[in-house]
Structure 1
Amino acid sequence: MRDRWPGLRADLSAAAAAALLVLVAVLVGRHLQDAYRTLFVHWPPLFAEWEPHLGPGTAAAAAVAAAVVAYGPAVAERLPWRGLLPAAWGTAVAWTWSLALVDGWQRGVAGRLTSRNEYLTVVGRFHDIPAALRDFTHHIVSGTPEPWPAHIAGHPPAATVTFVLLDRAGLGGGGWAGAFCITVGATACVAVLVAVRALADESLARRAAPFVVLAPAAVWVGASADGYFAAVAAWAVALLALAVTGGSVAWAAGSGLLFGLTCYLSYGLTLFAVIGAAVLAVGRRRVRERPGLLLLFLAGAAVVPVVFTLAGFDWWEGYRLLVTRYYQGVGGTRPYGYWVWANLACTVLITGLATAAGLRRAGAVLGRRRTAPAAEIRFALLVAAALSALLIADLSGMSKAETERIWLPFAMWLLPACALLPRPRIWLTAQAVLALLLNHLLFTGW
């Protein structure tokens, strides 16, 4: 077996180590929560409740999983590229919707963004958007008049303004907001494939496609605003990849615009600069040949910050006050010594055991970069940049718990590592089973 599939034993060891990390996080977390009540999650390390259940989406989720496992690798290999991208998006939409509907329409979709800490609860306070932006930082810290709910206080206002604009467009309420997050969030898989093809090669993108589509992360993409954030960040990277490989100034400007928006959707997503830097490093020759690409990117990246600054919102002041708010609440109580490694167990649960094995292979490619194919080296550098950004976020201590949702944007760039794995159907089965078990045994929060 080892001769037929070189590296299989090491792959299985990486997957087993990841599974062991999750098990230890569950056992240690259960003890800490029972003994000290300091984790503030009911099923550590996940923000979830133990609640075995079936729902309207169960049959559809099982059917989508079976179809992708059985036919995904072959279809991804044979379908024309222009057909593969919409097919991947459509399948990701079906997978995410079906998982969300396991919890039912109200609990799984329509009610997700209307709970007391969510964005839709404050839409009415943005009847005058410029005035709300000028006043935004005055309500971040607990104890101020009418403090923002947790998610609004914890993010720059572009996140909230998105749902305000949806409401203004006649798409108000939790159902439309949930549908927006699922539909847009599912496009992240397309952006990832576009970037991999541009920076590495089409073969790797095709091999990654079934894994990016059938991601366990879809449990949290449907329906959370972080799925939407993941898509915006993913397209920022994809357009930058197209710019540095094709030389298009339009792609560069568009990428910059989305990078700027990403930073105003979530403070922590400024770390996507690490992934952007990796893309620029891979395409450095084209960037040197056409310095206007970088200038257009920077000009595009300035648009959203300038608009919000002129409207009266100070990003740096908002972040400073957020740190205060974070430590006023459960963030100041949750133990860093547990979450700094248990967060990584959450990452295993949203990316799956296949990704752990894929990351091992990506590391091996970088370890033999003198002899490895150039496309694989570029590919591994992209994955390594995403992992580095995630680890920086982890060490910062500003993401203690709930990272199964918060780190969705980073997780999308770890999933392509599965393209390096042989026997994809076996690994896809493991991914599907994990997602189905998580969604049917637990009721996930937020």
Structure 2
Amino acid sequence: MSAKDTAAGIHRELRVRAASIGLVATVLLVVAAIAIPLLTGWDVRAGSFAPLHSILVLRVGPGTPAAILLAVAAVAFAPRVVRWPWRRLLVAVYGYGVAWMLALATVYGLDGVGAILDHRTEYLETARTVTDIGATLRDYIAHIPLDSEANWPVHLAGHPPGALLFFVVLVRIGLGSALAAGVVITLIAGSTALAVMATALRLGGETFARRAAPFLAVGPAAIWMCVSADAMFAAVAAWATLLLTVAATSRRTTVVVLAGVGSGILYGYCVMLSYGLPLLGILAITVLVLTRSWRPLPFAVVGAMTVVGVFAWAGFAWWEALPVLRDRYWAGIASDRPGAYWTWANLAAVAVCAGPWVGAGLGVAVVDARARGDDPRSRARRRIAFLALAGLAMCVAATLSQMSRAEVERIWLPFVPWMLLATGLLPERWRRSGLIVQVAFAIVVQTLLYTRW
């Protein structure tokens, strides 16, 4: 056996060991986050089943048989489907992902598709009352403080006005019911996996994008994607990253400029959707470093600053709103949520959202990110590994900020698909068993827990 073969064998063993360690660590993290409040009586202020914002409610509904059938079909046919021609695969991933989201949501009947959007803390109720967008933007910051007159509901106060404007548009085009808005969000959310896969393709990682496709299409994250505006945020972020990758990997100046500006516009709108999404800068810088191309950066910056500037010109200055939002955040329930728990339990919550196999993938990503090798396959492995680790880094940065205590199974949806890319790095037998675990885990969570989203 040659030295090269020996080194390859050692690397394979390291990857399997890393997958095992990552999986065990993830399971232990989730178990600890569930068990500690239950065993100690520690009130961490997140419902009765922390770390999720949820309560235990056994529910079997019309979507349950459909979810089981889709899960069985995914496990049975995924090995064949991932070998389909690329465009056909993308269609399958989109269609299957949307069907999976709707099946899980309708475990609670049609109300499961967006009914939560009608809650008084959400956007739709306010969006239906907006008659003057300009006046709304000019007065937006004044309504953030908890002691202000006619203060915004929780979600409006906790987000810049980009999210509200999205729902205002839906209302004005006749899609302002909870069901219609939920369907729109679901259809948009289904495209997230496509943008993530296409990003991996542009970085030379088609093989790994194909392998990760089933994990991006089906899994527990879908529980929150039908019913949360954050799923729309995730799609905007994914397409922004794809455009940046296109700009960074293109030799044509026109493409660099247009795709760069386009990515900046979408990243800029992400900043107007959530105060936490400037953390997408970690992902964007990762893309530029991996491609060794900084040409798109000035164009992306111009695009992003244009969006932020237009909002400021219209009356909403993000930098003025952030400290006001921080005061509102700590005046609410966040101050009663113990940082000693949530700083690490947030990661357990997002592990439930992504599914336990995300830990196995991230374990392998750590090994592959450090591996050497100049052949195209090794370079592609490293690039996918760094994208996945960028997703994890965004979660870590968010929890260390202390501005995300609980509810991150929804809030961190824009970070989840990038971590799930790491499943494409797993050995084949790990992927086969992992897909079974992921779909079964999703059905169990949706059946046993009412997640309030």
Same fold (TM over 0.5): yes
Name the residue aligned to 1:434: 441
1:232 is the counterpart of 2:239: no
Q: 1:308 to 1:397 in 2, by over 3 A?
A: same
How far 1:300 sits from its partner (Å)? 1.7
Name the residue aligned to 1:335: 338
AA in 2 matched with 1:361: V
- CA deviation profile, 1:30-73 (whole Å, cap 9, x unmatched): 245x35x3423221110011001111111111111111111113
- CA deviation profile, 1:12-33 (whole Å, cap 9, x unmatched): 332122111111111112245x
- CA deviation profile, 1:116-169 (whole Å, cap 9, x unmatched): 110012114421000010000011010100010000000000001100011011
Moved more, 151-160 or 203-212: 203-212
Name the residue aligned to 2:67: 61
1:202 is the counterpart of 2:221: no
1:443 is the counterpart of 2:447: no
How far 1:200 sits from its partner (Å)? 3.3
| CA contact 1:354–1:427 (8 Å) conserved in 2 | yes
The structure 2 residue matched to 1:379, chosen from 350, 374, 384, is 384
1:127 is the counterpart of 2:108: no
The structure 2 residue matched to 1:306, chosen from 306, 309, 322, is 309
Name the residue aligned to 1:351: 354
AA in 2 matched with 1:443: Y
Name the residue aligned to 1:321: 324
CA–CA distance in 2 between the matches of 1:99 and 1:105? 11
> Structure 1: any 5+ residue segments left out of the alignment?
none
The structure 2 residue matched to 1:75, chosen from 81, 87, 91, is 81
AA in 1 matched with 2:318: W
> Structure 2: any 5+ residue segments left out of the alignment?
1-8
How far 1:268 sits from its partner (Å)? 0.0
3-state secondary structure, aligned to 1:413:
helix
Name the residue aligned to 2:167: 163
3-state secondary structure, aligned to 1:204:
helix
AA in 2 matched with 1:84: L
1:215 is the counterpart of 2:222: no
How far 1:368 sits from its partner (Å)? 2.2
| CA contact 2:369–2:383 (8 Å) conserved in 1 | no
| CA contact 2:82–2:89 (8 Å) conserved in 1 | yes
How far 1:283 sits from its partner (Å)? 1.7
CA–CA distance in 2 between the matches of 1:279 and 1:334? 35
AA in 2 matched with 1:117: T
1:279 is the counterpart of 2:279: no
The structure 2 residue matched to 1:137, chosen from 135, 141, 153, is 141
3-state secondary structure, aligned to 2:334:
helix
1:43 is the counterpart of 2:49: yes
AA in 2 matched with 1:58: T
3-state secondary structure, aligned to 2:119:
coil
CA–CA distance in 1 between the matches of 2:138 and 2:21? 53
- CA deviation profile, 1:230-266 (whole Å, cap 9, x unmatched): 1101111111111111242322221111001111000
- CA deviation profile, 1:333-372 (whole Å, cap 9, x unmatched): 1000100111111111011121101101010012323578
Q: State the TM-score, normalizing by the size of structure 2.
A: 0.93
CA RMSD between the two structures = 1.8
AA in 2 matched with 1:417: A
AA in 2 matched with 1:159: A
CA–CA distance in 2 between the matches of 1:29 and 1:369? 43
Q: State the TM-score, normalizing by the size of structure 1.
A: 0.94
Number of residue pairs matched by the alignment: 436
CA–CA distance in 2 between the matches of 1:387 and 1:328? 29
Alignment of 1:343-422 (within 5 A): 343-369=346-372, 373-422=378-427
3-state secondary structure, aligned to 1:141:
coil
Moved more, 371-380 or 389-398: 371-380
CA–CA distance in 2 between the matches of 1:316 and 1:337? 29
AA in 2 matched with 1:167: V
1:250 is the counterpart of 2:258: yes
1:27 is the counterpart of 2:35: yes
Alignment of 1:82-97 (within 5 A): 82-97=87-102
The structure 1 residue matched to 2:157, chosen from 137, 143, 153, is 153
- CA deviation profile, 1:293-314 (whole Å, cap 9, x unmatched): 3332222212321221111011
- CA deviation profile, 1:356-412 (whole Å, cap 9, x unmatched): 011010100123235781111111111122211110001010000011000111111
How far 1:181 sits from its partner (Å)? 1.1
- CA deviation profile, 1:163-194 (whole Å, cap 9, x unmatched): 00110111111111111111101111111001
